[in-house]
Structure 1
Amino acid sequence: MTTYSRLLSLVLFVLVGAPPVVAEVTHSFLAFGKNTYIVDADGKKTWTYPAATRDGYMLDDGSMILTLSKSKKKYPGGAVVKIASDGKETLIWKGTQSEVNSAHPTDDGTYLITEAGANPRLLEISEDGKVLVDFPLVCQKKNIHLQTRMARKLPDGTYLVPHLLDFAVVQYAADGQVIGKFDTTVEGDSDHKIHTWPFTAIRSPSGNTLVTCTNGNRVIEFDIDGKVVWTLTNDDLPGKWLQDPCGAQVLPNGNVVIASYAAGRADTKAPKLFEVTKDKKVVWTYTNGEKVGIHTFQILDTDGVKVPGPAMK
């Protein structure tokens, strides 16, 4: 609800005793995936980019950092580019292996990058591409595509990296040493372990870590000791809306927005994005009728008000 709508609702209630009008929540957002675009609060695409992306950020100055999917000619190993507010594009990093899976603009003005390949690694680079940190990732090497996803640098200088087929989110020190791990396997029927693949891991100021698990179709929150304190599954939702949940963002009010990458393939009415409260009430959905999914995203504003950065995504 916009500020104007709230004021109008209050005036009507005071003058005529009418109940306050509850307007739907609105968001504008930046979407990444096979298609890259911005959607406004009315659900209309206002900007598109002519390449597939895996990750990205809109910065406070209006520029964007995009993690490009690999392409046969220009970027066979993927890349990271910066799009200035005037549209000028600058190459920050050209991938040296099979894929570049994430690029996080840090509070230090650097970029955290992960490369998947024969030698999966984490790099932190400067604006001009100088390598400041470079160490190997402790993950399986058989399936390159499922080595890493949304790696993020934390305020304490450590790194949080999901490893899909290792079924764990690993926390690395600046020297590459493993200092923590969240196991995303869950108990199933008859003591059967369900190996869920972590995709996005978000560390909150409280120390809790929210993780989307793709093949498990669930979202899990761990406390600082690794205990599961919150779980969202399709049993908690109006329908089977968790369909390969990849991207996620925690909003300032504590609500969580989730991207279901496979939504729309079988049922074009299934929401691509939805916002849920911590008591599991759905308050916003986005459906565009397309079969192409949203890989990750960034909510830019809510009810016409800009979401303050840095985005927790």
Structure 2
Amino acid sequence: MAPLSRQRLGAALVLLAAVAAVGSLAVSAATAPDLGTGAANDTTTDRGRTLVGMQAEGRVALLDANGTPVWRIDSEGVDYFDVTMLDNGSVLAGFIAGDQDDCGRYESPCARTGFRLIEPSPDPRVAGEWSFPVRSKRNSEVHDIEVLPSGEFLLTDMEYERVLTVAPNGTITWQWNASRRYDAPPDPTRTDWLHINDVDRVGDGRYMVSVRNANQLLVIERGEGVVEVVNEDENRADDENCKGYRGFADHDNDSDGDVLCGDPGMLDHQHNPQSLGPDAVLVADSENDRAVELHENEGEWTIAWGVESANAVGFDWPRDADRLPNGNTLITDTRNNRIVEVTPNGTTVWRADTGRWPYDAERLPYGEVTDDRLPRLNATGDTLDRGGESVLPFVDRAYAGLSFVVSLPTWFQPWHIGVIAVTVVLAVVGSGLVWSGRRNQ
């Protein structure tokens, strides 16, 4: 190719790359729906305050009815998860902190996880902590914590994949190990095996547990073990969905590769289920980008209600959904960095922007009620359509990592990263052609 032609082709590629990159971003931003502001919320109802735990932001905050912070506490190098306001006004928060020196059997620095007691006034501060060392800050956290009527603390542990209770003096009083049901790897601390991320008391000595990587909810009874499973393993074709998280496998090699994996069309790597009674549960169906209510009838669980968007913006990895006494649902939309309240028909009546990656929100003074006093819904929300598997999973992973570090606008989607990657290649090739053409003149 002649040097001049090479330069022209290179210049055209660079121009095409610039137009594609800038154009895709500009069009998406210009056509994005108007989300409004917290001040534009429906104020005809006294919504009280909302407590929020934010993972990537490392923050716990109390928001007023307009979404404005009343107080907040920020902790460097700390991720916060489930938050609960106690009767005395103190806040209980699950957390993990990196760069720790007290590491037990692990090399320093390590991470420590557990729960913290936060006193909001006069100035927010950490007043107490119960924690233990873990190998890594990633996928080893205590995500959920609540206080039992006995005064014990009930919590999850993803390092050893267990549910446990801790006495006020810090002594572990009971635990259930997931290895009693699922095939365990040689060392659960070295892989994201089950990712047990939630536990709620649903009766005397009965706990509902979310096993994220198995797409299942379990009801565990102290002294009995697992007594009920929501989203049973019924189709071996579902196994690849669970095995996509490399820690989940037939580790004992006794089932010809078969694993206990629920239907991803019902639940796909869910978070924070809320029991609405013995035969109904509300779940943040995270990888399906929706919140769903499941009902049980004659032993079969089905989707009775769901919602996939708010203010015309689809949910992106929601990780909490709470049914409120007024029948509305409070949803923590993690990668869109917002909390929304939607009516049974899916209308958005309240929203608040948060810091990066909110994990859990609870509306005060109710908190997360887990019994049959709350309203149940039927199919009045969105027409649900489970999202398909990603064609380019590396793009989704890049988007997830970027959203953890930077607060992205809601119109910025994973496909933008794909477009940018292609345009970078075009720009590099084009620049090379221009340089080569000039060199050979």
Q: Give TM-score, length-normalised by structure 1.
A: 0.76
Is 2:344 the partner of 1:284?
A: no
Aligned partners of 1:218, 1:186: CA distance in 2, in Å?
Answer: 23
Amino acid of the residue matched to residue 326 of structure 2?
N
**Are residues 174 and 219 of structure 1, via their aligned partners in 2, closer, same or farther at CA, if it must alter by over 3 Å?**
same
Displacement of 1:39? 1.3
- 1:66-145 equivalences in 2 (<5 Å): 66-73=93-100, 76-84=111-119, 86=121, 87=125, 89-95=127-133, 98-117=140-159, 119-137=160-178, 138-139=181-182, 143-144=191-192
Tell me which residue corresponds to 2:81.
Answer: 54
Displacement of 1:184? 8.4
Unaligned runs of 5+ in 1: 1-21, 265-271, 301-306
Aligned partners of 1:216, 1:37: CA distance in 2, in Å?
Answer: 27
- 1:167-206 equivalences in 2 (<5 Å): 167-175=215-223, 177-183=225-231, 194=265, 196-205=268-277
Aligned partners of 2:71, 2:156: CA distance in 1, in Å?
Answer: 27
**Are residues 83 and 203 of structure 1, via their aligned partners in 2, closer, same or farther at CA, if it must alter by over 3 Å?**
same
Q: Which has the higher strand share?
A: 1
Per-residue deviation, residues 28-61 of structure 1 (Å, max 9, x unmatched): 2111123321112232212222333011201121
Displacement of 1:63? 0.9
- The one of 262, 281, 290 aligned to 1:209: 281
Per-residue deviation, residues 46-83 of structure 1 (Å, max 9, x unmatched): 22223330112011210111111232216713121222
- Paired-residue identity, %: 17
> SS at the partner of 1:262?
helix
Displacement of 1:237? 4.8
Instruction: Report if the CA contact (8 A) 1:184-1:196 is conserved.
Output: no
Instruction: Report if the CA contact (8 A) 1:237-1:280 is conserved.
Output: yes
Amino acid of the residue matched to residue 216 of structure 1?
N
Structure with max Cα Rg: 2
Tell me which residue corresponds to 1:162.
Answer: 210
Displacement of 1:220? 2.0
Amino acid of the residue matched to residue 53 of structure 1?
Y
Displacement of 1:238? 4.3
Tell me which residue corresponds to 2:199.
Answer: 151
Aligned partners of 2:149, 2:362: CA distance in 1, in Å?
Answer: 17
Displacement of 1:156? 3.0
Q: Give TM-score, length-normalised by structure 2.
A: 0.55
Q: Which has the higher contact order (CA 8 A, sep 6+)?
A: 2
Displacement of 1:212? 1.0
Alignment length (residue pairs)? 271
Displacement of 1:148? 1.3
**Are residues 226 and 72 of structure 1, via their aligned partners in 2, closer, same or farther at CA, if it must alter by over 3 Å?**
farther
**Are residues 162 and 310 of structure 1, via their aligned partners in 2, closer, same or farther at CA, if it must alter by over 3 Å?**
closer
Tell me which residue corresponds to 1:248.
Answer: 321
**Are residues 40 and 246 of structure 1, via their aligned partners in 2, closer, same or farther at CA, if it must alter by over 3 Å?**
same
Q: Which has the higher helix share?
A: 2
Instruction: Report if the CA contact (8 A) 1:60-1:309 is conserved.
Output: no
Displacement of 1:206? 5.8
**Are residues 248 and 274 of structure 1, via their aligned partners in 2, closer, same or farther at CA, if it must alter by over 3 Å?**
same
Aligned partners of 2:69, 2:320: CA distance in 1, in Å?
Answer: 19
> SS at the partner of 1:112?
strand
Unaligned runs of 5+ in 2: 1-41, 102-109, 236-262, 372-441
- 1:207-286 equivalences in 2 (<5 Å): 207-224=279-296, 225-234=299-308, 237-264=310-337, 272-286=338-352
Instruction: Report if the CA contact (8 A) 2:82-2:144 is conserved.
Output: yes
- The one of 338, 343, 357 aligned to 1:293: 357
RMSD (CA atoms): 3.0
